[in-house]
Amino acid sequence: MNNSIHNRLSEFLSDSQILINEPMKNHTTFKVGGPADFLVNPNSEDELIGVLSLCKEASVPFYIIGNGSDLLVSDKGFRGVIIRFLENYSEINVFEEKIKAQSGALLKNVSLKALEAGLTGLEFAFGIPGTIGGACVMNAGAYDSELKNVIESVRVLTKEHEIRVFSCEEMEFGYRTSRISKENDIVLEAVFSLKKGDTAQIKAKMDDFQSRRKSKQPLEYPSAGSTFKRPEGYFAGKLIQEAGLSGFRIGGACVSEKHCGFVINAGNATAKDVYDVIKGVQERVFRNSGVNLSPEIKFLGEF
């Protein structure tokens, strides 16, 4: 079966674009995860549609990733095709006070492009380790701002392989959600509407945010950023700390003592270690406070 899929992928992708039995620990910020049958890097919309059509015809599961942040892949890996948008699909262009960025562009790089152009509005995104595609799906945010404040439109590929452009209002952005997360369309690119600003002030704000991140977050360890969504009326990290879970550890995964809202790979963790810590935290916090913590990260594969 895999030989057949490989042969068909080779009809429209080069060998360098197709990775076989690729360890997903190489493609996630947690640095854990077993092998995917195939990991492909399409360079164009036509190539993407070709991969999707093949998966549909052959009934092969697929999953879209960018930088692999907010993602935990099982130690057993993924039986199917991982479609990856990163440097292969990451063009960024500036037009007066607008920036157009493909889905594989890192938020950090788009923020730097805005700085270079003297445009303000994206400073908050500088330290978020994801791509434009993932950020649009979950309405990424930090420091009292979020993507919906600067998005003008998002271009997507629908399940019917139609290209559509949604305005910011049509994206139905909410807290860590959007219409994309509900309808499973694929983000192709986004247009940001920014404002002219003072370059020195923009850089100072980015530096300040980054300094605050370094002082409060365990950036020296692999993680997926904030592990849990913020429960209404509470802070996840505070609830976890109050439940006595600072440093709670299973195998190589643990709750960060620096910031309890982060589950980290403290050294040679498995995906199961991370998963078990997350589940343990949810159970203990619920027993302690009655609050259900909802993971911000996605789980892929069998746990």
Q: Which residues are catalytic?
A: 176, 226, 296
Beta strands in the chain (DSSP E): 18-23, 35-40, 62-65, 71-73, 78-84, 92-95, 98-102, 119-120, 141-142, 145-146, 151-157, 163-167, 186-193, 195-196, 249-250, 253-255, 263-265, 298-300
Q: Are 99 and 113 contacting, i.e. CB atoms less than 8 angstroms apart? A: yes
**Angle 45-57/2-9 helices, nearest 10 degrees?**
150
Q: Are 123 and 194 contacting, i.e. CB atoms less than 8 angstroms apart? A: no
Q: Are 113 and 196 contacting, i.e. CB atoms less than 8 angstroms apart? A: no
237 residue type, one letter: G
